Chains A and B, each alone.
Chain A
Amino acid sequence: TQLLEQSPQFLSIQEGENLTVYCNSSSVFSSLQWYRQEPGEGPVLLVTVVTGGEVKKLKRLTFQFGDARKDSSLHITAAQPGDTGLYLCAGVLNDSWGKLQFGAGTQVVVTP
């Protein structure tokens, strides 16, 4: 069983639409990271959130960390084909030497 549950597992939308990916857990994390992974490549770090309730924006991407630091969301506005990829959330538990607990990922496909 995954410590972090991501939903949905798969998301297919048209260019210009908005989408939200969720990352939920019953555990409290000291920090949470979002990555994007392309086929055959390693995960690329998008953002790190640390404080409960924190919101970070990266161009058309908005990341939110839940008040209790148990959940997070990624919202993409006006999606583009270049946003296609596997989005992974990963959290660090307290006193865990920084090892990342990964969700299973959300595959996002944006069609022109």
Chain B
Amino acid sequence: NAGVMQNPRHLVRRRGQEARLRCSPMKGHSHVYWYRQLPEEGLKFMVYLQKENSIDESGMPKERFSAEFPKEGPSILRIQQVVRGDSAAYFCASSTLPARLTTSYEQYFGPGTRLTVT
């Protein structure tokens, strides 16, 4: 049962370092969403990607954060010069259909990466 894979599961970074979070979608899925879950808060949308194309970045902080989903390989969420406020659980979800072609929309989530900034 090859679900959504994320690695690493836990990542510790010191302030100012870079964090790279990887997400491999389910087989056959070509659409990836990233969400962030801050302590004591709900899941918040960050970005929606198709292969080689960023569709909606409205939830991404304007600075230090970037995301990509190349033609080959996993989707990467990159956080430069991390700060303590970036400590959170980062989840990716994948889907098989473009969002606008279906109203019966379903996303499947990975286990998440817990980022701790010291």
Which A residues are closer than 8 A to B by beta carbons? 2, 30-31, 33, 35, 40-45, 48, 50, 88, 90, 92, 95-105
Complex CA–CA separation, A63 to B100 (angstroms): 24
Q: A40-B114, A99-B99, A100-B45 are in contact. List 12 more A-B contacts (CB 8 A).
A: A2-B42, A43-B109, A45-B108, A50-B103, A98-B48, A98-B100, A98-B107, A100-B33, A101-B45, A102-B42, A102-B44, A104-B41
Complex CA–CA separation, A86 to B93 (angstroms): 18
8 example contacts (A-B, Cβ-Cβ < 8 A) are as follows A42-B110, A42-B111, A45-B106, A50-B103, A98-B98, A99-B33, A99-B56, A102-B43
- Number of contacts between A and B (CB, 8 Å)? 81
B91 at the interface (CB under 8 A from A): yes
Are the C-beta atoms of A97 and B112 separated by less than 8 Å? no
B35 at the interface (CB under 8 A from A): yes
Are the C-beta atoms of A88 and B33 separated by less than 8 Å? no
Complex CA–CA separation, A96 to B99 (angstroms): 8
Complex CA–CA separation, A44 to B59 (angstroms): 22
Given the contacts A98-B105, A102-B42, A92 and B112 also touching, CB distance less than 8 Å: no
Which residues of B lie under 8 Å from residue A101 when comparing CB positions? Answer: 45
B1 at the interface (CB under 8 A from A): no
Are the C-beta atoms of A48 and B105 separated by less than 8 Å? yes
